[in-house]
Amino acid sequence: MFSVTDPSLSFGEQLDSLQRAYDAVTKKEAGNAVAVFRRYFLSDAANQADILMERECENPFCALSIVQQAPLNGTKIALWTWLQTGMATETCNSGMFEASHNGYRHLWNGGAHNKAATSEYQTRLLLNDYVMQLTEQHCTLAADCIRTWFFVQNVDVNYAGVVKARKDVFITQNLTEKTHYISSTGIEGRHADPDVLVQMDAYTVDGLQPEQIQFLYAPTHLNPTYEYGVTFERGTAVSYGDRKHIFLSGTASIDNKGEIVYPGDILKQTGRMMENISALLEEAGASIGDIMQAIVYLRDPADYENVQKYISTHYPELPHLIVLAPVCRPGWLIETECVAIIPADLPQYPCL
């Protein structure tokens, strides 16, 4: 995670600062690590995305996501990048970015979008296209896709269309309440083009055995999402021979009846949210201290100072970024997604 600390700089200066920090890590500190995925968080995509893309041409190619979700520390840009070592990388004919090692193929998609008439049609096209891309790679949505992200312009209006299209497509792919879904975030996020209502990022791993994938539920704290009409998993843990990756979906202040806990109280919602995250991680054998990356989404920028102070006080080591992005249900004032990693000793599986 890379953040700018000086909000007085122009966008170009902030981009320069971010690039210098990125170069220092990738070229000096991370050895032979390569980026397999980058996501930029912008404050004004319509005016910044083209400038960013000109600069991106100088970086080694990888899956790229650009979304308007303003960093709430007052700056204009932030970056999340996923680095891996020892990977053979290539761009597939379908446009996916592939990083392969030790029998696993990690397939990343970033910034997929179209300009169909409604959010429902856009989502339907996105998912159907992704199913076809996976088919070309001898993968399926149900067996191999680990994580998706849906960024929705005006989420209060357009999220219902995303929900309907996702549910309809998932049924055709044998993703139902009786099988399983996919860990996901559905959140406010804008594209530079105002006609794009939905954009999607996705992560698939080819080469896993079914028993390497564990879905997380924490039923003492949360209920299955289908009980309130949506179709995603709370979290997914992927076990390799030497480590376990844990992907938590966007997690809010919810109870195991699907109700909002502490309506209107941002700090109490933050506490319940972190309690839910802890319960999900515990089910995978991890804890909050194992989180490598967390993105915190706030509906109201006026809550930033209080939330940042809360996190700094209670979780001072948490690597996180706080951005402006209303959650899919208006009563949820805050939501967090994260990735945690813990060591494993599972000789029956190849190491990562």
Taking only the tens place, the pLDDT of each residue in 73-98 is 999 999 999 999 889 999 988 889 99
Q: What is the pLDDT of residues 250-306, one digit of tens each?
A: 999 999 999 999 999 999 999 999 999 999 999 999 999 999 999 999 999 999 999
Give the three-class secondary structure for 36. Answer: strand
Q: What is the DSSP string of 111-149?
A: EEE---SSHHHHHHHHHHHHHHHHHHTT--HHHHEEEEE
* Contact status, residue 248 vs residue 147, Cβ threshold 8 Å: no
- pLDDT-based confidence at 33, cuts 50/70/90? confident
For residue 140, what are the CA distances in angstroms to 172, 235, 244? 12, 19, 22
User: What global pTM score does this model have?
Assistant: 0.97
**Domains, the chain:** 1-86 (3.30.2320), 87-208 (3.30.1330.40), 247-351 (3.30.1330.40)
Is the pLDDT at 29 greater than 70? The verdict is no
What are the phi and psi torsion angles at 192 (to 5°)?
A: -65, -30
Q: What is the CA radius of gyration of the chain?
A: 19
How many Cβ atoms are within 10 Å of 246's Cβ, its own excluded? Answer: 26
- Round to whole Å and give the CA distance between 25 and 6: 20
For residue 179, what are the CA distances in angstroms to 10, 131, 315? 49, 18, 35
**251 contacts: CB under 8 Å, gap ≥ 6:** 222, 234, 273, 276, 277, 280, 335, 336, 337
Q: Share the mean pLDDT of the chain.
A: 96
Average pLDDT value for residue range 122-151:
98
